[in-house]
Chain A
Amino acid sequence: MEMHAQTLTELAAGLEKGDFTSLELTQALLDRIAAHNDKLNAFITVTADEALAAATRADTARSKGGGGVLNGLPIIHKDIFCTRGIKTTCGSKMLDNFISPYDATVVERLADAGAVVLGKANMDEFAMGSSNETSYFGPVRNPWNLECSPGGSSGGSSASVAARFAPAATGTDTGGSIRQPAALTGTVGIKPTYGRVSRYGMIAFASSLDQAGVITRSSEDAARLLGVMAGFDERDSTSIDQPVPDYLAGIAHSIKGLRVGIVREHFDAGLEEETGKKVKEAIAVLKALGATTVEVSLPNLNLSVPTYYVVAPAECSSNLSRFDGVRFGYRAENAEDLLDLYCRSRGEGFGDEVKRRIMTGTYVLSAGYYDAYYLKAQRVRKLIADDFRKAFAEVDVIAGPTAPSPAFKLGDKVDDPIQMYLNDIYTIGANLAGLPAMSVPCGFVDKLPVGLHLVGAHFDEETLLRCAHQYQQETDWHTACPEAFK
């Protein structure tokens, strides 16, 4: 099998056996990116020189019997993670000139384990979007159909992994931004429990919801990477000091007796029919593997999208205040005074969706509206979290659709924010409740991939990964490759 077609696990074995070197692998993937990225626009920055240098270091380490658990394995970082000495844009004109002086914890941990970074993936501006169309650097295209969106905000990551530019990419998920792109590109995406992976160095969108994760082609690969990324970080006060289990060892166990929750409301009118069928077929596979299904109720789940669109904009309106043209990033020229500098730097540096959310967030936090919007949303958020807590008293995972339909055409929803927001209707609940969740490929509708969504209990990524891995032992949807990228 050609190198690019292999999973991270397979490539690790190849490097170990000496079938190829990291330098050869890295060069092959860089060549592939150079040849095909124009079709997808998946990258904001390709870091060829740094990647080749890192690959050489990895090969040297291996020749001396050293190197970390990811030694020499190529990955891509979403451009939301700060990378020292490398442009870190967050998909925005605001940071088009920003060279980060430091590495995010996620970047540092993966680098310490020997991973080779091929570049920085395109994304929705400041991770605000579900189609990758809000990027200042232009939309990313879906490898399965170039007219379609690869999802967002981690669209560059999902498209890259689907197109075999790299076996894995990091992503972030504030309201489905790892899982929805994974579903729309036929890849595996996992958002761990809030607090499982450090947010240090990950440019903040909505701090109480943001969580870093990975997009891969197999659950096994996701387990391998997550094991490196996860764990307490004293630089992030919200990261949680809990031991990280051996995810790779955990996935091998059977799911016999696993209690799978099914939420009836997930299969209501909003779900496209064929997508629903694929998801039900996937659940049938889980049953065939020995799992049992239990109907569970999440009565407040229908409030998750409106709740999210109060909480996330509120936090973003504050988080994005630091982009003021004073210390870094875009600065408007010839400002007349301080106010003019602020207004024009932000007016010219941010795109429409970002501005829309800053305005929404400013509004819901304003005197006289705070109680009616922000406080109420926080109360509903607690109700939603309580619903999940009750459900997890009876089940081990909750299964359903990741997105209501397969990939939509670029431009289709760009003028209708509400339709765009509804694409995250099934994923947002996990963010509001801080739960781990993942998307796994489970079939095709009109030659476009569909994702099975699995949500787990707090800090139980292990069960999610095991369930997904066992499913992938029985199915091969995740091995399908878009024709143009074989």
Chain B
Amino acid sequence: MSVAGWEVVIGLEIHTQLATKSKIFSGSSTAYGSEPNTQANLVDLGYPGVLPVLNKEVVRMATMFALAVNATVARRSVFARKNYFYPDLPKGYQISQLELPIVEHGEMFITDADGNEKRIGITRAHLEEDAGKSIHEGLAEFSGIDLNRAGTPLLEIVSEPDLRSAKEAVAYMKKIHTLVRYLGISDGNMQEGSFRCDANVSVRPIGQEKLGTRAELKNLNSFRFIEKAINLEVERQIELIEDGGQVVQETRLYDSDKDETRSMRSKEEANDYRYFPDPDLLPIEISDEFIEAVRKTMPELPAAKQTRFVDEYGLKVDDAGILTSSRPLADYFELVAAASDSTAQLAANWVIGDLAGALNRDGLDIGDSKISAAELAGLVNRIHDNTISGKIAKQVFEAMWDGQGSAAEIIEAKGLTQITDNSALEFVVDKVIAENPGQVAEYRAGKDKLIGFFVGKVMQETKGQANPGQVNQILIDKLKA
């Protein structure tokens, strides 16, 4: 792909499902995965005569988001109807916000390719209801409609066209993803569609001010797909223009199976949504008092937490970044650190290393960890007090993960306590020296590297329980003798 000479311009529209118990305009549950149409009441079904009533929780959540991205909370915002016919849209219109959204003028900071901090503008975020789903599998010549999702609250977060590469787009989306979960306003579950985005992508020759014609990529629901789809689209547009063609404004769909984007509809075919203010709903009026009350409930945000982890715990910046990528993970780390006698960095290493690896291997979230923070601290403390070596600790960790007990119990049961008794170690060292006369001669002839061989042998004999530093010293003393 020839990107040289071209500038990529991307703006994202992120659809975040808000984590309310009930829908945005009805009392139906928003729980995922129920039998089709069991969570759709008369309001969700768009029955004659029913009316929407706003779930006030969404206003609180949108306000939290606004405060987290330094945005303006609109003192007055208005719901509008977006009119179009589709079977999964029961009323024939979607209730959304157009001219007066609840959140405007926010920002998010990402790290760009050169490692610099880069500001991404957030144009707006507005509240709207989700549509239902069409089901085509297993219904022969019919299509089914499941309205469980209809009326689920969404916050659509629209960025400025400030992103300059697929990588930046992914970095931005990850930041938003972390943020909404921190705030507790979304579960961010991408498999279930709780967090998805549309990307507006265009290219222009470097130096040109005027934006190129954009294509909108619909419904990207994984970070990997976003990156792939954007790169494919950029490649397509550059090739098209370099071949003398023109990009047309259109909506395109990314097909992950075929790894291509294809046209869904052009601007000419686009719906005229005939937006107008919804007369069934009053404008949302937000007072300063409300905003201040919400501000008091704001949790520590990821960026602030990362800085604090570096300052307070002396962690490496990158490690602090990983640990603060989710609030439960950060909380877990803080519990381990608090219960450990060791440095916080050692605790961090275990959380980021073996624990994260085990969670990943078993497909678990930190909240489902088979080892509690207190238990992990127990393991870290045994390393710290030299009861076991780091290597043995890995073995103990796996046993803990298997549910065999606490670190102390497992060390006791398996007799893994590090051998620090000099006489015991000397006995083993003598045995190793006696059994390997050839290597002893070579070492004494100046092949210092062979010290590793001897240490290995001692560790083998002691099943790894010897204190490696101590073994090293004893070996040197005896070999030199």
User: What is the interface of chain A, defined by CB distance below 8 A to chain B?
Assistant: 81-82, 88, 90, 95, 98, 100-102, 104, 199-204, 206-208, 234-238, 314-315, 317-318, 320-324, 326-329, 338, 342, 362, 365-367, 370, 374
Contact = CB atoms under 8 A, between A and B. Distances in A.
A322 B91 contact: yes
A201 B85 contact: no
A82 B90 CA distance: 18
B322 interface: no
A201 B272 contact: no
A457 B281 CA distance: 23
A374 B276 contact: yes
A207 B50 contact: no
A326 B280 contact: no
Given A207-B280, A315-B276, A328-B48, 13 more contacts: A82-B48, A101-B47, A102-B42, A102-B47, A200-B50, A203-B49, A238-B51, A314-B276, A318-B93, A322-B90, A327-B45, A367-B272, A370-B274
B54 A238 contact: no
A95 B48 contact: yes
A200 B51 contact: yes
Given A326-B87, A326-B145, A327-B45, A235 B53 contact: yes
B91 to A, nearest CB: 5
Given A82-B49, A200-B49, A237 B54 contact: yes
A366 B85 CA distance: 15
Main SS at interface, chain A? loop
A123 B51 CA distance: 22
A82 B280 CA distance: 18
* In the complex, the 10 A-B pairs of residues with the closest C-beta atoms, listed nearest first: A321-B92, A365-B274, A208-B279, A207-B279, A201-B49, A322-B46, A203-B48, A82-B49, A203-B49, A322-B91
Nearest to B45: A327
Interface residues of B, number: 28
B282 interface: yes
Given A318-B83, A321-B91, A324-B85, A365 B53 contact: no
Interface in B20-61: 42, 45-54
Contact of A318 (B272, B274, B281): B274
Interface string B265-281: 00000001011100111
A205 B293 CA distance: 40
Most buried by B among A100, A202, A365: A365
B472 to A, nearest CB: 77
B252 interface: no
Given A104-B49, A365-B274, A318 B81 contact: yes
A234 to B, nearest CB: 7
B343 to A, nearest CB: 57
A427 B47 CA distance: 30
Contacts of A326: 87, 90, 145
16 contacts: A81-B49, A82-B49, A98-B48, A100-B47, A102-B42, A203-B48, A207-B279, A208-B279, A237-B282, A318-B276, A321-B83, A321-B92, A322-B48, A322-B92, A327-B45, A362-B274
B276 A370 contact: yes
Contacts of A322: 46-48, 90-92
Interface string B359-388: 000000000000000000000000000000
A104 B42 CA distance: 12
Contacts of B85: 321, 324, 342
Q: Which interface residue of A102, A315, A317, A327 has the most chain B CB atoms within 10 A? A: A327
Contact of B280 (A98, A238, A320): A238
B272 A237 contact: no
Contacts of A203: 48-49
Contact of B50 (A201, A317, A324): A201
Most B-side CB within 10 Å, residue of A207, A234, A324, A342? A324
Contacts of B53: 234-237
Nearest to B276: A365
A88 B281 contact: no
- Which of the listed residues A88, A90, A321, A362 has the most CB atoms from chain B within 10 Å of its own CB? A321
A365 B47 CA distance: 23
Contacts of B92: 318, 320-322, 324
B93 A321 contact: yes
Contacts of B42: 101-102
A200 B275 CA distance: 23
B48 A237 contact: no
A479 B137 CA distance: 66
A328 B280 contact: no
A84 to B, nearest CB: 11
A317 B276 CA distance: 11
A324 B51 CA distance: 18
B83 A204 contact: no
B153 to A, nearest CB: 16
A365 B83 contact: yes
B90 A327 contact: yes
A416 to B, nearest CB: 28
A368 to B, nearest CB: 9
Nearest to B134: A338
A365 B277 CA distance: 11
A235 B50 CA distance: 8
Nearest to B281: A237
A366 B91 CA distance: 19
B49 A237 contact: no
Most buried by B among A100, A101, A315, A326: A326
A100 B50 CA distance: 11
A374 B279 CA distance: 13
B145 A90 contact: no
Interface string B91-119: 11100000000000000000000000000
A104 B87 CA distance: 26
Nearest to A362: B274
Contact of A366 (B48, B274, B280): B274
A329 B48 CA distance: 10
A432 to B, nearest CB: 13
Interface in B179-222: none
Interface string B239-276: 00000000000000000000000000000000010111
A158 B248 CA distance: 59
A237 B276 contact: no
Nearest to A94: B48
Nearest to A341: B87
A359 B17 CA distance: 35
A236 B282 CA distance: 10
Contacts of A238: 51, 279-282
B51 to A, nearest CB: 5
Nearest to A90: B48
Contacts of B282: 237-238
Contacts of B49: 81-82, 100, 104, 200-204
Give the interface centre of B272, B279, B280 by most chain A CB atoms within 10 Å. B279
Nearest to B82: A318
Interface string B381-403: 00000000000000000000000
A237 B45 CA distance: 18
A342 B279 CA distance: 25
Contacts of A362: 274
A120 B282 CA distance: 31
Contacts of B274: 317-318, 362, 365-367, 370
Contacts of A317: 83, 274
A104 to B, nearest CB: 6
B56 to A, nearest CB: 11
Contact of B47 (A90, A314, A328, A370): A328
Nearest to B40: A327
B280 A237 contact: yes
A199 B53 CA distance: 12
A362 B272 CA distance: 10
Contacts of A102: 42, 47
A81 B48 CA distance: 10
A171 to B, nearest CB: 15
B42 to A, nearest CB: 6
Nearest to A202: B49
